Protein backbone atom coordinates (compact mmCIF):
# COMPACT_ATOMS: atom_id res chain seq x y z
CA UNK A 1 0.00 0.00 0.00
CA UNK A 2 1.18 3.47 -0.81
CA UNK A 3 0.72 6.02 1.95
CA UNK A 4 1.66 9.54 0.90
CA UNK A 5 3.68 8.06 -1.97
CA UNK A 6 5.75 5.93 0.37
CA UNK A 7 5.50 2.12 0.32
CA UNK A 8 4.25 0.54 3.54
CA UNK A 9 4.31 -3.24 3.75
CA UNK A 10 3.07 -3.76 7.24
CA UNK A 11 -0.60 -3.09 6.52
CA UNK A 12 -2.89 -6.06 6.01
CA UNK A 13 -5.64 -6.20 3.44
CA UNK A 14 -8.90 -4.91 4.81
CA UNK A 15 -7.32 -2.56 7.30
CA UNK A 16 -9.47 0.58 7.51
CA UNK A 17 -8.47 4.21 7.13
CA UNK A 18 -9.15 4.61 10.83
CA UNK A 19 -6.73 1.75 11.62
CA UNK A 20 -3.98 3.36 9.55
CA UNK A 21 -4.50 6.70 11.27
CA UNK A 22 -4.20 4.98 14.63
CA UNK A 23 -1.19 2.85 13.65
CA UNK A 24 0.63 5.89 12.34
CA UNK A 25 -0.38 7.85 15.46
CA UNK A 26 -1.82 10.62 13.30
CA UNK A 27 -3.44 12.57 16.13
CA UNK A 28 -3.63 15.95 14.36
CA UNK A 29 -7.33 16.81 13.85
CA UNK A 30 -7.24 18.47 10.43
CA UNK A 31 -6.60 15.59 8.04
CA UNK A 32 -7.53 15.24 4.41
CA UNK A 33 -7.87 11.59 3.41
CA UNK A 34 -7.97 10.41 -0.18
CA UNK A 35 -8.01 6.81 -1.32
CA UNK A 36 -7.21 6.41 -5.02
CA UNK A 37 -8.00 10.11 -5.39
CA UNK A 38 -11.42 9.79 -3.78
CA UNK A 39 -12.01 12.05 -0.77
CA UNK A 40 -13.00 10.12 2.37
CA UNK A 41 -15.02 12.00 4.96
CA UNK A 42 -14.19 11.65 8.63
CA UNK A 43 -17.33 9.67 9.44
CA UNK A 44 -16.28 7.05 6.87
CA UNK A 45 -12.73 6.46 8.14
CA UNK A 46 -13.75 3.37 10.12
CA UNK A 47 -15.75 1.79 7.33
CA UNK A 48 -13.33 2.36 4.46
CA UNK A 49 -11.19 -0.76 4.00
CA UNK A 50 -7.87 -0.52 2.18
CA UNK A 51 -6.19 -3.02 -0.11
CA UNK A 52 -2.72 -3.86 -1.34
CA UNK A 53 -2.60 -1.61 -4.36
CA UNK A 54 -4.43 1.34 -2.88
CA UNK A 55 -2.94 4.78 -3.17
CA UNK A 56 -3.68 6.44 0.15
CA UNK A 57 -3.08 10.05 0.92
CA UNK A 58 -3.43 11.32 4.46
CA UNK A 59 -2.56 14.98 4.33
CA UNK A 60 -2.09 16.97 7.50
CA UNK A 61 -3.41 20.41 6.94
CA UNK A 62 -0.99 22.67 8.70
CA UNK A 63 1.25 25.07 6.93
CA UNK A 64 1.26 27.34 9.87
CA UNK A 65 2.99 27.26 13.17
Partner 1 sequence: MICIKNIKPYEQIEQEEIERLKAAHVLRARLQYEKKPLFRGYTDKLLYVDLADSKIRIDDIPGQVKEKFIGGKGYCLRYLWDAVTPETRWNSPENAIVMSAGPIGGITQYPGAGKTLVCTISPTTDIPIDSNVGGYFGPFLKFSGFDALELIGKADKDVIIFIDGNKGTISIEEAPLEAGDAHILCEQLTLMYSDDEADRKNVAVVTAGSAADHVNISMLNFSFYDPNRKVVRLKQAGRGGIGRVFRDKRIRALVCKFSGIKADLNKPHNMSILNKTGLKFHREMHDLDGKQNNMRKIGTANIIEVMDAYDLLPTHNFKFGSHKDIDKIKSTVFIEKYLTQGAPDGCWYGCSMACAKAADHFLLKSGPYKGQRVCVDGPEYENAAGLGSNCGVMDAEAILELNFYCDTYGIDTISYGTCTAFAMECYENGILNKERTGGLELTFGNIEADFELIHQMGRGEGFGVIVGMGVKKMKEYFIKKFGADPAFLNDIGMEQKGLEYSEYLSKESLAQQGGYGLTNKGPQHDEAWLIFMDQVNNQIPTFEDKAEALHYFPMFRTWFGLMGLCKLPWNDIVPADNSKTAEPAKVPEHVQNYLDVYEAVTGTKITVDEMIKQSERVYNFQRIFNIRMGKGLRVNDASPYRAMGPVTEEEYLSREERYDKQLRELQGLDPEKMTLREKMDSTRRYRYEQYNRMTDAVYKRRGWTQNGVPTPEKLKELEMELPELLEVVNQVLSN
Smallest gap from Cβ 20 to partner 1, in A, equals 13
**What is d(CA 61, CA 14) in angstroms, rounded to the nearest whole number?**
26
Give, as one character, the DSSP assignment of residue 64: -
Element (H, E) at 54: none
Smallest gap from Cβ 53 to partner 1, in A, equals 18
Query: Which of the residues 25 through 64 are near partner 1 (CB under 8 A)?
Result: 25, 27-30, 32, 39, 57-64
| 3-state DSSP assignment of residue 5 | coil
Q: Summarize as ranges the residues that interact with partner 1 (CB under 8 A).
A: 4-6, 25, 27-30, 32, 39, 57-65
Amino acid sequence: MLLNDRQYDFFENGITVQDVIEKMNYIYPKLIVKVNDRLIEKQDYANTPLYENDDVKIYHLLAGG
